[in-house]
Structure 1
Amino acid sequence: MGYISLDQARTIIAAALAHGGQLGLKPLSVAVLDSGSHLIAFERQDGSSTLRAQIATGKAAGALALGLSSRRIGEMAAERPSFVASLGTIAPAGLIPAAGGVIVVDEAGRAIGAVGVTGDTSDNDELCALAGIAAAKLKAQNA
């Protein structure tokens, strides 16, 4: 399959939020994008702070734009801060250099979309994104 369906996106979101609940995390927001960085689905839990839709989308869209997880983009920002900072002005859906944005790939390793999670620590956000992807029986990129 070369895309993430709406049903799969809903599964990703439900599983990511459930995983956050099991871990006792702060309110989360989850965005699922297609390979062109278009929003498929988004949900935020009660009590989520403002800008969470933009942050979740920015984590996922930034990952797709650079072909790297948002965790890796954060590492890149530490190595080359001016370069990563300059990307914000040209990234239409944003670019958030912190873990929580994970690319979803097909069997051949091609990007079919991405998941962005925000609301708790970046490490926990990423754990929830990975749990959602696995629940939808999809594969996360290894980067």
Structure 2
Amino acid sequence: MSALTLKVATQLASQALSAGRTICAAPLTIAVLDSGGHLITLQREDGASLLRPQIAIGKAWGAIALGKGSRLLALDAQQRPAFIAALN
């Protein structure tokens, strides 16, 4: 497995922001972490709210730690609220 480079992380974040603009999403903040949970890049669109960087990093960290995307984590939170509360 190759290490995630800054160049690749920045490209991923830019592509995510472009996808957000395509669907007219609210202003986004994108955090890309390496497999150890360390921040590689963070991009915040103009107009994104104050806590978005911390939220983006937390979502990315949770996805890495649990090995599943944030949509599946949200489903887990609905089905197993005690487990998610224990993680918090």
Which secondary structure does the structure 2 equivalent of 1:48 belong to?
coil
Percent of counterpart pairs with the same letter?
A: 48
Cα distance in 1 between the residues matched to 2:73 and 2:25: 24
Q: Cα distance, 1:63 vs. partner?
A: 0.8
Which structure has the highest helix share of the two? 2
Report the alpha carbon displacement of residue 21 of structure 1 after superposing the two structures with TM.
Answer: 1.4
Name the structure 2 match of 1:5: 5
By how many angstroms is 1:55 displaced? 0.8
**Structure 2: how far apart are the matches of 1:76 and 1:19?**
25
Q: Displacement of 1:2 after TM fit?
A: 2.0
Structure with the larger strand share: 1
Q: Which runs of 5+ in 1 are unaligned?
A: 89-143
**Superposed CA offset, 1:48-67 (max 9, x none):** 00110111111110011111
For 1:97, the equivalent position in structure 2 comes to: none
How many residues align? The count is 88
Q: Which amino acid aligns with 1:10?
A: T
Q: Please state whether the residue corresponding to 1:58 is helix, strand or coil.
A: helix
Greater relative contact order (Cα < 8 A, sep 6+): 1
SS of residue matched to 2:18: helix
C-alpha distance in structure 2 between counterparts of 1:4 and 1:73, whole Å: 23
1:65 and 2:69 are equivalent in the alignment: no
Give, in whole Å, the separation in 1 of the partners of 2:21 and 2:79. 34
Match of 2:86 in 1: 86
* Structure 2 equivalent of residue 113 of structure 1: none
Q: Which runs of 5+ in 2 are unaligned?
A: none
Q: Alpha-carbon deviation of 1:83?
A: 1.2
**CA distance in structure 2 between the aligned counterparts of 1:24 and 1:45, rounded to whole angstroms:** 13
Q: Which runs of 4+ in 1 moved over 3 A?
A: none
- Output aligned runs, 1:74-113, within 5 Å: 74-88=74-88
TM-score (norm 1): 0.58
The Cα shift of 1:70 comes to 1.5
- Please tell me the root mean square deviation across aligned C-alpha atoms, in Å: 1.1
- Structure 2 partner of 1:27: 27
